[in-house]
Structure 1
């Protein structure tokens, strides 16, 4: 029996910052005279590695992790980076992201409680949810639990808030590693929203794979 739905925020309900990160990578690659793919790869590698160890007493907010990544890129490619200005642009986007066209109808069609589970700073995620008036029962962020998906802490906090068992829940998200991998490890059914057709990482299996939220059919 389905008693609740957990759903990712950025990249699932609202636009992610991929376009801004791609633009930043292109600008840095032009300054450094290196392929843009090298800068993009360095961005993601540093950000993911930093997030993997940022939990518990070692937790750092997404803004702090991003600041550190921007500093790292400047050093790695020997180019000037206006770290605070670049971070301000990203934070503005996190607080005012575009609503993805299938999100409102998806949420409106659910007849069980919904909790957003987001790897984001609390103020930014809640601002994005409030901006679009998203109809959700609660919002759990990485800052709330001092851990990032796919670690279990964000999912467990959401389950506790809704008072449900993992077997009674479906988690919907666009990240194969963070969303599908993390939720599956706790015994939840999962929906992978694979908008770009990237597929899932090796060893990760979703209950359902869809190209958009309009294709989601929940039990």
Structure 2
């Protein structure tokens, strides 16, 4: 019996920052002295982003994003201030939109929900307030000083709801951080497969949905 939900936020509750990343990558690629595609810049940036943020030492995303972007810009010979570029594009895009079905699903939900997010707390709180959302609890990497798939994130969320691992589902769009992280913590994982990508063989996916409306039948 499902008595509570753990929800990833970006890519699950609201849209991910794919468009923002693509826009910044396109500007870097256009200004690079070395021929490079925007897709290659985006991929390199996300690899550096993860490396910088996860450390050691642990770094907030607001610090990790411009630092990792600076490394990629230097590699491809793109001049300019990475922090200013990142800040300007972030402001231009504004808060991410809710994913399809999110508001309808949450409005009809009667289970306690803990958001489990790798976002910095202030940034996440601003988006939650922007959309007028309410959750039972919120656990961020800034609180725990670790990023998913670290088990500390999931243990903190279970404690926040006062529930055991076998009483909840964790719902998220990342196979590595959400699905594998939850599975390692003894929690069943629901994969939000936004792009219809086939799951790798052996991936510990308990259920697969395209958006939160698909959860209704699972937790009924």
Q: 3-state SS of the aligned residue for 1:26?
A: helix
**What does residue range 24-103 of structure 1 map to in structure 2 within 5 Å?**
24-32=24-32, 33-54=35-56, 58-89=57-88, 92=91, 96-103=95-102
Contact 2:69 2:82 in 1 (8 A): yes
Matching of residue 119 in structure 1 with residue 118 in structure 2: yes
Q: Structure 2 stretches of 5 or more lacking a match?
A: none
Contact persistence 1:39–1:73 (CA under 8 A) = yes
Equivalent residue, structure 1, for 2:15: 15
Q: Secondary structure of the equivalent of 2:218?
A: coil
Contact 1:176 1:201 in 2 (8 A): no
Instruction: Give the aligned CA root-mean-square deviation in angstroms.
Output: 1.9
My pick for the range that moved more, 149-158 or 80-89, is 80-89
Structure 1 unaligned residues grouped into runs of 5+: none
- 2:211 matched to 1:212? yes
| Contact 1:177–1:201, Cα closer than 8 Å, also in 2 | no
How far the C-alpha of 1:201 sits from its partner, in A, is 5.0
Which portions of structure 1, spanning 4 or more consecutive aligned residues, are displaced by more than 6 angstroms? none
TM (norm. structure 2) is 0.91
How far apart in 2 are the matches of 1:196 and 1:73? Answer: 27
Given the superposition, is the C-alpha separation of residues 152 and 91 from structure 1 closer, same or farther in structure 2, using an over 3 Å criterion? Answer: farther
Question: Does the 8 Å contact 1:94/1:125 carry over to 2?
Answer: no
Residue-by-residue CA offset, 1:196-217 (whole Å, 9 max, x unaligned) = 1234456422100112222222
Q: Tell me, in whole angstroms, the C-alpha distance in 2 between the residues paired with 1:81 and 1:203.
A: 44
TM-superposed CA distance for 1:77, in Å, is 0.7
CA contact (8 A) 2:12 2:173 kept: yes
Count matched residues.
216
Query: In structure 2, do the counterparts of structure 1 residues 90 and 112 end up closer, same or farther at CA, with 3 Å as the change threshold?
Result: farther
Deviation at 1:218, TM superposition (A): 2.6
Q: How many Å separate the matches in 2 of 1:53 and 1:200?
A: 28
